[in-house]
A and B are shown apart, each in its own frame.
Chain A
């Protein structure tokens, strides 16, 4: 799903730089072009359900036509926020169609496991077409700038926590992930961060395993600094 975010995120590659101009001019074609290729791949991989395959092929052709028509007609998208948003919805719908391609559909009048996901995916894709059309035919805001630092470091800190909680235990995992997350803002200060992370780690190590009685391991296996004082 987040794959849909990337092409638009690249939109703000630079303000006024060449890459920014490039995206402003060709981004509205490149994105549906890329999605069209994704739809073609989905179509090629769908072997068991002809209906779904036809739909995927149709979407691929539609998206390709859009990608070609825009520069040919010299049309500038007036509402890029909805345009890219709608296209991403189409991509998500396509992804769901592809992901549920091998699930059996209707058997007589009984729903199969694939019926509802496929139905929702098709409606979502349809709404995506509608939202993108609104983006083409009405004026609206451009896509807001995507910040990189904040989201990237918050995700990184969460990943660090997920990766280290099992092998390293709560104390190390929280301390490191707090320090990483603190860098999500430019206002970060080293000393304050270290002290604050230590305080928070102590608080969490007391609150969660003891206060709330959750079964969390505090230290790595076979390591317990408390033994030093025994």
Chain B
């Protein structure tokens, strides 16, 4: 009953004309930017963060959530139409989605992606609402030691699920943690690693890091590939709606994708990415005729699209209840909340029910809007994709710069962003994944504070982390995960060395 009452309260907040408008604008702008090739949700949100600063907190977060779904959906659109995944979580969508588009079935592919996402969004919204309350109760029992261990577990998850080398992902987390130390110490107020630069006394700005490492570095990367011709589907989009046969074929896939996505999304780390891959693989295994996959099977679009949307939404659960962002996008949300003076965590639900339930309700509305606005607008997105990159990137760049400047009216922030862009470019060249860095950067101050408190309470005895049962359990899980992930890697690396020795 509580749940229903809360959801009704949430809808009454989210359905106010202003908030619906913000959700709509967010979803539209999010799609608009997300459609641009090579710009994923993280970059999109980083770029668009500044435009939400003038809004009241509830409106701003609703708009950001809209931007997130929009960007995610925009990513799928480019996967299907141009064969360029806007982000990692829609990589699998390219496999069958683009094939469908080549066979002249881009319409049904886009429609089924929207319908699957919408269904997944509905289920995930209820799940977020249902799990929110009990998890919050649990979170309120957590002490500093438990919180610290939980964050360690979260970071380990992020490392294990990230693609590529584990030591490199760990190093990126440490780099993020180290970056977050710049500025003033919370307890003593002493300036740390700021070199008496007044602009650094508050630390390196969150938007500066995110925009530089994700947005600008991505542009630098894309410029290297700009000569490459884009395979935009030129065929006229006829017959947007999927046939009854399509719907029947994809119903099961949508259901299974939603289930897989919902579970994997709660786990920290690249939830949406893993979810999409897992759902696709699962669907291929389930299918009576696996050879159809990769040649335009509609289940191959429905399953990963439902899964990544469900995961995108359930990843709000750890953020809203525990205050711990499970992935880079949620880390951006933390940054946005902090700028509005909201400390994410269990107290959000009790102290700001408007914000908590309003945001959950707006998730559902945002999903509904994606279906309504995107299907008629597909033609527009296709046209946008034909705009040459040499005209797009100066526009992206100047919007970022103006937005970035307007946050603090600080030219210093703008210049710093350029330096972080170089760092991001360097990281890309050396195959370092920047997402764990952003996570570490956001969690850094929280981790330090909880570690300090836990150590003070335990009178300097580090054993407190393994003596408290919940904390010990979380840490044990973290160690286990890390060992499981590292073991096969060491074995394969050994093989490489071995093979080399023989030659």
Contact = CB atoms under 8 A, between A and B. Distances in A.
A178 B394 CA distance: 6
B457 to A, nearest CB: 10
Given A154-B220, A158-B418, A96 B193 contact: yes
Interface string A86-115: 001100110010011001100011111110
A112 B431 CA distance: 35
Contacts of A96: 178, 181, 193
Contacts of A28: none
Interface in B370-414: 388-391, 393-395, 397-399, 401-403, 405-406, 409, 411-412, 414
Interface stretch (B16-24, B163-171, B252-260, B331-339): B163-171
A1 B423 contact: yes
A185 B402 contact: no
Contacts of A158: 216, 397, 401, 414-415, 417-418, 421
Given A78-B500, A138-B493, A147 B171 contact: no
Interface stretch (A30-38, A45-53, A160-168): A160-168
Interface residues of A, number: 80
Given A89-B171, A100-B192, A147-B224, A178 B398 contact: yes
B456 A110 contact: yes
Contact of B500 (A128, A139, A141, A170): A139
Interface string B154-170: 00000000000101101
Nearest to A158: B418
Contact of B390 (A112, A174, A187): A187
Contacts of B174: 120, 123-124, 127
Interface stretch (A17-25, A62-70, A196-204, A222-230): A196-204
A93 B415 CA distance: 23
Interface stretch (B7-15, B67-75, B183-191): B183-191
Interface in B473-503: 493, 496-497, 500
Given A2-B423, A109-B459, A113-B190, A92 B175 contact: yes
Interface of A: 1-2, 4-5, 8-9, 78, 81-82, 84-85, 88-89, 92-93, 96, 99-100, 103-104, 108-114, 116-117, 120-121, 123-124, 127-128, 130-131, 134, 137-139, 141, 143-144, 146-147, 150-151, 154-155, 157-159, 161-163, 165-166, 170, 174, 177-178, 181-182, 184-185, 187-189, 192, 196-197, 200, 204, 208, 212-216
